[in-house]
Amino acid sequence: STVGTAARLVGVVKDITERKQMEEQLRQAEVVFETTAEGIFIMDEAQRIASVNLAFTGITGYRPEEVLGQDPNELLHARRHSDQFYPRLETTLRGQWQGETYCRRKNGEVFPAWESVSVVRDAEGVITHYVTVFADITAIRRAEEQLQHLAHHDPLTGLPNRLLFNDRLDQTLEWARREGQRCALLFFDLDGFKHINDTLGHCCGDLLLQTLAARIKVALRHSDTVARLGGDEFVVIMANIAQAEDGARLARKLLETLAAPIELVGERIAVSASVGISIYPDDGTDRHALLKAADTAMYSAKAQGRNRFCFYTEEMAVRALERLGIEQGLKRALETQGFTVHYQPQVALSDGAITGIEALVRWQHPQQGVVSPARFIPIAEEAGLIEPLGRWVLSTACTEIGRWAKAWGTALRLSVNVSARQLLRDHFHETVRQALLETGFPAHQLELEITESTLQVIEHSMRVLDELKALEVQIAIDDFGTGYSSLSVLKHLPIDRLKIDHSFVRDIPEDINDVAIVEAIVALSRTLRLKVTAEGVENEAQLSMLRRLGCEEGQGYLFSPPLPFAALQAFIMQTNRQF
């Protein structure tokens, strides 16, 4: 009997524990139901809403009494053809479904939701309820869209970037191929943008790009796409053009639009652009070929003087290839000492005494022989090779002339040509100081030649000239008369000499206009207290006319061509004996 009593007692205790556990579980479920951030609604077997939680009201705006007994399809689910609720419920019948839907709030606003639906069955397996949990994913979707936009657009101008451009161009070409249509690609690059950036600062550069991007957008047809490929490079896709002339018309319009002056930090800046145009299918059938053709044409537009457009031609490709050959040759020559410096004497016109020597670089090409600097200097400038090359010329000339002048006791002026790219580089004066220091060449005997067109390029960074003057080197304006220096600019510059361009010397004394120009330059140099040298003196008639006009110094084949270093030494020794 003791055993029987004990058995009954155990049974009672177990029963109470189970009920307590059930109650506890229900209470926990209740807490979760009411406090979770996800909206929850429970439907009966007829798919009518039986209960909703607090978050449901928070998300949808419906109070419980407004939705009880309603069909959530009518009430909540926004009808969009991409969004069908019915197949979802069919899968739900077998267990669970989750996915993205669009729901409508009480105020009519549609929002993306992540929903999961589960079925609840009784002991016999019959469906008694459906439980739907959903979250408002508007914020996530918005962040995703922003990321998408960022990945495909340039943050500065809001224009499509290279990624999106590639995509659009591929699509356009695909369409053109199917429909047998023509398209145009306009590649454009702002003229002198780097210079604006360097002198007015990046903020101004950014502002300029934004302004121009907005102008370009306005100028386009709806079917055209403009993208910024980076820096100051933009490209326009013209889908469906009737003839190539359509591309030219848009290019003209864009150049006009861009040319209107822009006010930047109190300065009115006018920019121009160089545009290259390629046509599908004439100049290429895929993205790479068309871009390359447009880019080549753009280079040609730049070379022809900027602020213009060019269509791509076969001949350009040949020239581009040649250019590339020169560029690679120059790189190799820099590594393998393929350059030499020749020297051309400058003389006093009164007695023919040698007063200075101009250093002129020569490139000994392994196949083509001596290549003229007129041909390779512009390429070296564009390819960023002018700085190492210029540094090499400067230190070689200072070393050779310096060592020799010391040994022979002559104090000759050494002239070295400097291009705009070198001057625009930060701390160019440091490079010069370094070269003087390393070679021991006296600063006051060094003259740097800057072409008149360079003056225009460095217009906003004239400080570099003062920095050079502070080293005590002299400054000459080369090819004077070919640019457009205003007298007021010249007056304020720390320059020492004008070199009359040989184009004015060539036809004197016959050409009276040239005689008048040379006379005017000589008079100008007197007024501004500058020294003056005539370039390209080839014969006695020119010499006597220059003397008559009061020009002090000359340089040219009449006195001597540029000579290799050894020949220069012999020439100077012989000439000096004469005087």
* Binding residues for ligand C2E (CB under 6 A): 344, 360-361, 372-374, 377, 390, 393, 417-419, 449, 478-479, 502, 535-538, 556-557, 562
Dihedral of CA 488/490/491/494: which sign?
Answer: positive
Q: C-beta of 508: minimal distance to ligand C2E in Å?
A: 13
Q: Mark 445-474 with x for binding to Mg ion (rule: CB under 5 A) and - for no binding.
A: ----x-------------------------
Q: Which of the listed partners (ligand C2E, Mg ion, none) does 361 bind, with a CB threshold of 5 to 8 Å by partner kind?
A: ligand C2E
Q: Which of the listed partners (Mg ion, ligand C2E, none) does 377 bind, with a CB threshold of 5 to 8 Å by partner kind?
A: ligand C2E
Alpha-carbon distance 549 to 217, whole Å?
57
Q: Which of the listed partners (Mg ion, ligand C2E, none) does 300 bind, with a CB threshold of 5 to 8 Å by partner kind?
A: none
Q: C-beta of 416: minimal distance to Mg ion in Å?
A: 8
Q: C-beta of 381: minimal distance to ligand C2E in Å?
A: 8
Alpha-carbon distance 394 to 183, whole Å?
50
Peptide bond into 112 cis (omega under 30): no
Q: Which of 115, 478, 514, 553 binds Mg ion (CB under 5 A)?
A: 478
Can residue 417 be called a binding residue for Mg ion (CB under 5 A)? yes
Which residues lie across from 160 on neighbouring strands? 153
Contact 85, 99 (CB under 8 A): no
Contact 508, 544 (CB under 8 A): no
Q: Mark 421-450 with x for binding to Mg ion (rule: CB under 5 A) and - for no binding.
A: ----------------------------x-
Q: C-beta of 421: minimal distance to ligand C2E in Å?
A: 8
Q: What are phi and psi of 412, to 5 degrees?
A: -90, 145
The two beta strands, 497-500 and 474-480, are parallel
Q: Which of the listed partners (ligand C2E, Mg ion, none) does 393 bind, with a CB threshold of 5 to 8 Å by partner kind?
A: ligand C2E
Q: Which of the listed partners (Mg ion, ligand C2E, none) does 419 bind, with a CB threshold of 5 to 8 Å by partner kind?
A: ligand C2E
Which structure tokens are listed for 410?
């002559």
Q: Which is nearer to Mg ion, 300 or 417 (CB)?
A: 417
Query: Would you give the distance in Å from CA 227 to the centre of its chain?
Result: 12
Greatest pairwise CA separation for the chain in angstroms = 151
N-term to C-term CA, the chain? 150
Q: C-beta of 471: minimal distance to Mg ion in Å?
A: 19
Q: C-beta of 531: minimal distance to Mg ion in Å?
A: 15
Angle made by CA atoms 401, 404, 409, in degrees to the nearest 5: 115
Q: Which of the listed partners (Mg ion, ligand C2E, none) does 112 bind, with a CB threshold of 5 to 8 Å by partner kind?
A: none
DSSP 557: T
Spatial neighbors of 180 by CB under 8 A, at least 6 apart, are none
Q: Which of the listed partners (ligand C2E, Mg ion, none) does 412 bind, with a CB threshold of 5 to 8 Å by partner kind?
A: none
Q: Which of the listed partners (Mg ion, ligand C2E, none) does 536 bind, with a CB threshold of 5 to 8 Å by partner kind?
A: ligand C2E
Which part of the chain contacts Mg ion (CB under 5 A), choosing from 60-68, 333-341, 393-401, 534-542? 534-542
Contact 395, 361 (CB under 8 A): no
Q: Which is nearer to ligand C2E, 479 or 514 (CB)?
A: 479
Alpha-carbon distance 336 to 220, whole Å?
50
DSSP 444: G
Residues that bind Mg ion (CB under 5 A): 417, 449, 478-479, 535
